[in-house]
Amino acid sequence: MILEIRDENGNLQTTTRGILNTFVGHMKRKYGPTQVDDECVEQMVNAGHIRVAEAWGDIIDMPIMAEELQTVVHRGTGNKAPGHDGIGMEFFKKNWSIIKDNMQIMFNQMYNTGNIGEQQKHGIVVCIPKTTAPKTPADYRPITLLNTDYNILGCIVANHLRPILAELLHPSQHGGVQGGGIFDAVAMVWDAIAYAEKTQTPLCVLSLDFMEAFDRISHIYLLKLLAVYGFSTKLIALIKNMYDQAYSSIHINGHTTCPLPIQCGV
């Protein structure tokens, strides 16, 4: 239970309506459209990116196979909270032998046409405290519960893209790359420090942390960058449709707000 919260003006809200309104205002500001400079976007997307080979493009656009769909459905542990439709992954797992053929047809239709309903893109946000004594909405971590079918589609898109990321991204990029991880980045920093100490080479280590980086990514920039990399119009249209008209409702103290548009972030 959230018993009290301070709004953006520092006023203490203790009523259910006041608490809900405070979180709604915070989320609207957080997930409103990210303002971008068109000239800067053009400079970034034209900065000499490697393009996807045609062979990879054909592989990415291939229909969803029964085996890969089954792998996505059955991976991971169960007992996870469902999204707005109330259908969890356990339903898919336990009834897979009955629904698998229809599911393959449905997901291929979504993948090939990008036809995704608004209800499928409707998430439920629950707020988890970051500290032992949270005072403002910023002290809570919003966790969005997405519908299982939307999650499955997202996993399939990611699986199709993952094998080629190592070819497109700079070698210094470790996170999100198959076979890479944060510990590789840490090891690289330690190696650089050790080398500098051994060779008496001047070294400056600069650590930058972009606050809420994934939450503030511009969809305009993201889609333009995908086009520059040479991904197919089919894939770009699918990703665009996954984000267009996406909404989330905030669930606090047993109450759920009206849907709020999610206009930035990944």
pLDDT tens digit sequence for 149-183: 999 999 999 988 888 887 787 777 777 677 777 78
Q: Is 214 left (phi over 0), alpha (psi -120 to 50) or beta?
A: alpha
Phi, psi of 89 (to 5 degrees): -65, -25
Q: Model's pTM, two decimal places?
A: 0.85
Can you read off the two tokens belonging to residue 169?
Answer: 């991204």
Give the integer Cα–Cα distance in Å for 73 and 79: 13
Give the rounded percent of residues in the chain with a pLDDT score beyond 90.
Answer: 58
Give the confidence band of 99 by pLDDT, cuts at 50, 70, 90. Answer: very high
pLDDT score for 6:
95
Contacts of 52 (CB under 8 A, 6+ apart): 60, 164, 168, 229, 230, 231
pLDDT at 60 over 90: no
pLDDT score for 171:
77
- Looking from the CA of 166 toward its CB, the CA atoms found within 13 Å total 6
Give the confidence band of 238 by pLDDT, cuts at 50, 70, 90. Answer: very high
Q: Which residues pair with 12 in a beta bridge?
A: 6
| 3-state helix vs strand vs coil in the chain, percent to 5 | 50, 10, 40
- Lowest-pLDDT choice from 162-171, 212-221, 228-237: 162-171
Give the confidence band of 84 by pLDDT, cuts at 50, 70, 90. Answer: confident
Alpha helices in the chain (DSSP H): 16-30, 38-45, 54-60, 66-74, 89-94, 96-113, 148-168, 182-199, 219-229, 233-243
pLDDT at 197 over 90: yes
- For residues 5 and 19, the answer to whether their CB atoms sit within 8 Å is yes
What dihedral do alpha carbons 221, 223, 227, 228 form, nearest 10°? 20
Give the confidence band of 55 by pLDDT, cuts at 50, 70, 90. Answer: confident
Q: By C-alpha distance, which of 122, 126, 181 is closest to 147?
A: 122
pLDDT at 49 over 80: no
Give the Cα-Cα-Cα angle 167, 172, 176 (nearest 5 degrees): 65
Radius of gyration of the chain from its Cα atoms, rounded to whole angstroms: 22
**Mean of per-residue pLDDT scores for the chain:** 89
Give the integer Cα–Cα distance in Å for 30 and 263: 9
pLDDT score for 230:
86
- pLDDT tens per residue across span 178-196: 777 778 888 889 999 999 9
pLDDT at 130 over 90: yes
- For residues 84 and 124, the answer to whether their CB atoms sit within 8 Å is yes
